[in-house]
Every structure is written in C-alpha cells, then in structure tokens.
Structure 1
Amino acid sequence: MLDAFARYLDLQRGLSAHTVRAYRSDLGDLLSFLGVGAGDDEPVGPALGTLDLPDLRAWLAAMSAAGAARTTLARRAAACRTFSNWAHRNKLLKSDVAARLRSPRADARLPSVLTPEQAAALLDAAADVVAEAGATAGDDADAYAARALARRDRAILEVLYATGMRVSELCSLDLGDVDASRRTMRVLGKGDKERTVPYGAPAAAALQDWQDAREVVAAPDAGTALFLGARGHRIGPRAVRDIVHRATARAGVPDLGPHGLRHSAATHVLSGGADLRSVQELLGHSSLATTQRYTHVSAERLRAVYAQAFPRA
C-alpha cells in the first residue's frame, strides 16, 4: 500500500521525490501509531477500517507533545488528507476521514536573512578564494582541481543568490539549461513545473569561469550536469549546503544554508521595489500567499514608499 501511494504521488500528482519520500514516511509513522509495523504479516485493512478523525488528531497531538515543529505537523496533516482522499477513492477507506482535518497554523516567521552588505561580503569572499587559488603555486592535477572547485563554489553562490532557486533545482541544472546570451536559466521546479529565471552580470562571469574549468574535474561519464562534485559527477544538495556553510564562515557573515540565500534574494528583490507577482514567478511559488511572507521589508523602505505615495506625507 505504501508503494502504491508513493507511485500515485509521483506519477499522478507529480510531486517532487523529496515530498514523495516525506509523505510515504509520514504514512508509515501513522500506521506505526495505529499499531501496524512495517514488518508485520497482518494486513493493514483492519487498522484502516477503524481509522477516524480522532485517531488522526491524536497522532498529531502526540507529535506536538514530543516537540515537533509546526511546519512538520502541517506537512503531516497534508499527507493525511492526501492519503485519505486516495484511499477512499481506491476503496481502502469507507469515507474520506481526513477531509475535515485542519493543519496547525504554520509559523509565518522566516529564517534569518543576510543584509545586502553581508551578501556582497559573502560573494566577494568567494571571489577572493578564486583569486588566491589562482595565485597558489603548483601545476599538478590536485592544484588544477582545487582551482576549478573554487570557481565552482563561487558560481554556485552567485547563482543561488542571483536567482533565488532551490538547492534541488540548482543540482538538477544541465549545461543546456543556461542561455548565456540572454542571461537566463531554464529551471525545473516542484511538480515538474518549468520556469525561466534571469541572472545578472556577476553570476554570468562566475558561471563562465566555472564552465571554462569544468573539464578539469569532470568524470568521463559526467554527462551534461552543470555543477559537479569533487568526484566529477552531478553535485548533490548536501555538498551544496556544505559549500554555503563554509563560505559564510569564511566571510564572517551569519551562518545559513542555500535556502537562506533564497530567502535573502527574495527579500532584497522586494525591498528594491519589485512587485509580488514578479517575485512569485522568479521563485516558482504556486501561491502568491507564499511569496507574501517576504514582505517584511525594512522600515526605511516602508517610509520611502509612504513618502512617495502619500501626498500629505
């Protein structure tokens, strides 16, 4: 049943692999709560036959008491509703028991973001590392690889900040997704939704610098991946997170991950005067309500807009 549910999420709903894994894990946890273990020989039918809304609420309450975050509870409630609807349509449940299950209100606060000055310091520090690597003596293979990886790290930071894309989207980029002449990238987001995002001159220069050095670290079967790991194959999200954490420590700015750069980019674009719809398209949000979380612009920006728009200001 878990496999069938996962196939439904993947093939019919088009959810990301990460979401499919999370929902499948959530359902497995629910079954354990109901007393059905993953290795049990007994069928899950009897447990599902008695499943009702109080059971689901008790499951969420137990997790809340254990200290689960609101975002986790909200995701698990969403997984319950999705499963309940699917199971009812496939006659595994007599009714859609989770139709009235409400999600806990998610915490609307955003993680810490960099100031524009801190973002500039982060990217300048990455450029300094590239310059230092280029000045380092040594012409052996290890030295060439170190220089290439420094260029890769700088390009990754520039692209994450310039485009606000998710780390999974960055890792899935191919060489053909980059249109250098127009300074745009084709990005495949959640639900396999494709969008085109622009990037500026600094990111363009860093990208070209990395592409010129890419062959130094590329494995024979590297394929068309834009960004490569140290072993020459497509880079993974964990490696990108490590790169960002190391870069923030080196630059002396607040520690954050790739998603923190996404939050920073969205905040800075909005603070610069961009409209919500444009930022929604840039970030690939399906709902404008998600983008509205980034409207925590500075008091200075709010005063400037007020003074400009209000005649009696």
Structure 2
Amino acid sequence: MSYELGKYIKNFIEHIEKNRNASPNTVIAYKNDLEAAALFFGKDKFVSEMTRSDIRSFMSSLSQNGLSPKSCGRHLASLRSFFRFLICEEIVNSNPARGVITPRSSKDLPRFISENDMKNLLDGAFRDDAIGIRDKAILELFYSTGARISEIASLNIDDIDMESEELRILGKGSKERIVPIGSAAKESLSKWISSRSKMIRHFERALFVNARDGKKLSVRGMRLVISEYLARVNPSAKNPHAIRHSFATHMLDHGADLRAVQELLGHSSLATTQKYTHVSIKRIKDLYRGAHPRA
C-alpha cells in the first residue's frame, strides 16, 4: 500500500465516522474493502493515476479469488464512495469506479427456518442456569423482533420497557425505531433480568453479558451462541441472520402488511423487504403444487 493511498483512506474513514454517522460495522467494512484495494494496487500507485481499467482489474481479482458477486459489489461501492470523497476534497478530478459495472448478484431466496423448527428451537432444552436463561432470552427476543444481531448485541437494559412491551432499537445509520415485544420474549426477558445479576461483577448497562467477566456480550460471542442452537434444528440455516429472515417470512405468511414488516425490520427501502414476499409466494406455490389435483 502506498503512503499516499493509506493517508487518503484514513482521511475518508475519519470523514464517514464524523459526518455520516456510520455504524462501527459500516466503518470496518469500508476500511477493510479499501485496504484490500490498496494492497492490490501496490506501493507505486497514486490515486490521480487510477483508471477504470485499474478498478476492473481489481474487481476481476476479487472474482478469481472466489468472492461472491454481492461481496464484489460492496467493494466496488466502497471505491465509488472513496473517490467521491476525493473529488469533494479536490484531490482527483474524476471517479474511475463510476463506470465499472457492478457484478450481478444471484437471486437466491433468503434462508429461513420453518415455524415448526423455530418452535422446537425455542421450546427445546436449555441449560438450567443463568447462561441457559440468557440464551433463551436472546433467541426469543431475536425471533420476536426480527432485529439484526448487531442491534440485539448493542441493547442496554434501559432500552426495554416491560410495562409497554416495547423495545428501543438503534439501527443502521443510528436510526432509532420502537418495536413490540411478544409475550414469550417478555417472559424470557423477565427471567433473564432476574438472573442477570448473577453474571455481573460491576455496573454494566448492556442487556446481555458474558459469563466470563460479566461484561457486554459481543456480536461475535452472540453469533457463536445462536449458531450453536440453530445447528440443532437446521444445520443448513445456522447463520443467525436466518432468524431475521424467518421473522419476516412468518409474519408475511400470516398476513402481515408489507410496510409494517418494513418498519419492524428497519429497512429504509420497501424493495429490500419485498424479497421476503418471494419466499412466501414460493411457499404458496409449493403448497399448491402438492395439494391441487391438476397443478
């Protein structure tokens, strides 16, 4: 990586942290994407010399290394944003990433867990201690709200209003939303809040804490917890995001309004939520073909 490119990447990261109110995960993604590009371009490449051909070569190398079209598209979007910043700073005159075609993502439907498997998961056996109570509360809250794993991990104890059965979530772009808590999740949370003090060794605002030191349970730690439980009921959908997909799919299957689901998920665009209608329609077609005598 050239010193010049490294310096401009650092300036760009500082810019999005201060002016775009970007989440920590977004900042890390931008930093990783741009540093990967900088390593590819080497020590002797100046930003003013970069061309569309250079960007295409980088994208080609990502594809050859096995990155998915979606991941390649994210790298390209990061480069476009980076060069827009450099143009605003009057460091370059044009954006070489602008005319590069974004790789087409495959239109795979979101993986989700069946309602029966979710019931088996949530009604299944948990450890008979504070850790088991915590784990059940995490899973119940995850399925009850459809929140992102980073949103659940960042919850504080005062984000819950048990009386109103509401949860305050800070989503992408620091956008706040209020979502309802189901009765099963409320019951599990009540038990966890009563047991939480057994894990805490000092003052801690985080709702979910780890058993090792009583501090906030990290996203990585929560991901490991959820993946372990998911593997018991559906090994093919052990990514924690499958619970969020399941929440949306099951809501739509039971007649929920698409815009209401959009609000609950915290999607800024209705188009993002609409992918779940394809899952529901596919399920309806499968049921139809299996039940209709002339299907």
TM over 0.5: yes
Q: Whose Rg is larger?
A: 1
CA apart distance, 1:301? 4.1
Partner residue in 2 for 1:123? 122
Check if 1:29 corresponds to 2:36: yes
Check if 1:276 corresponds to 2:258: yes
Partner residue in 2 for 1:297? 280
Provide the secondary structure at the position in 2 that maps to 1:79. helix
CA apart distance, 1:100? 2.5
Partner residue in 2 for 1:309? none
Partner residue in 2 for 1:77? 76
Partner residue in 2 for 1:204? 186
Partner residue in 1 for 2:164? 182
Check if 1:229 corresponds to 2:236: no
Compared CA separation, residues 173 and 283, structure 1 to 2 (3 A): same
CA contact (8 A) 1:188 1:194 kept: yes
Check if 1:10 corresponds to 2:7: no
Distance in 2 (alpha carbons) for counterparts of 1:219 and 1:186: 25
CA apart distance, 1:96? 2.4
Partner residue in 2 for 1:193? 175
Partner residue in 2 for 1:93? 92
Amino acid at match of 1:183: E
CA contact (8 A) 1:160 1:258 kept: no
Q: Deviations over 1:136-176 (max 9, x none)?
A: xxxxxxxxxxx111100000000111111011100110111
- Return 250-259 or 72-81, whichever deviates more: 250-259
Check if 1:58 corresponds to 2:65: no
- Return 212-221 or 10-19, whichever deviates more: 10-19
Provide the secondary structure at the position in 2 that maps to 1:185. strand
Compared CA separation, residues 206 and 20, structure 1 to 2 (3 A): same
CA contact (8 A) 2:231 2:238 kept: no
Percent identity of paired positions between Structure 1 and Structure 2? 35
Distance in 2 (alpha carbons) for counterparts of 1:68 and 1:250: 29
Distance in 1 (alpha carbons) for counterparts of 2:93 and 2:230: 53
Q: Deviations over 1:89-130 (max 9, x none)?
A: 1122122222333322223323421110111110001xx325
Check if 1:161 corresponds to 2:143: yes
CA contact (8 A) 1:164 1:261 kept: yes
Amino acid at match of 1:65: Q
Q: How many residues align?
A: 279
CA apart distance, 1:238? 1.4
CA contact (8 A) 2:228 2:238 kept: no
Alignment partner for residue 170 of structure 1, among 133, 152, 170? 152
Provide the secondary structure at the position in 2 that maps to 1:3. helix
CA apart distance, 1:71? 1.3
Compared CA separation, residues 300 and 290, structure 1 to 2 (3 A): closer
Amino acid at match of 1:269: M
Provide the secondary structure at the position in 1 that maps to 2:46. helix
Distance in 2 (alpha carbons) for counterparts of 1:102 and 1:91: 25
CA contact (8 A) 2:23 2:174 kept: yes
Compared CA separation, residues 300 and 90, structure 1 to 2 (3 A): closer
Alignment partner for residue 198 of structure 2, among 210, 216, 219? 216
CA contact (8 A) 1:110 1:293 kept: yes
CA apart distance, 1:211? 0.3
CA apart distance, 1:288? 1.2
Distance in 1 (alpha carbons) for counterparts of 2:156 and 2:220: 18
Q: Structure 1: which 5+ runs fail to align?
A: 37-41, 134-146, 306-313
CA contact (8 A) 1:197 1:282 kept: yes
CA apart distance, 1:302? 6.2
CA contact (8 A) 1:81 1:101 kept: no
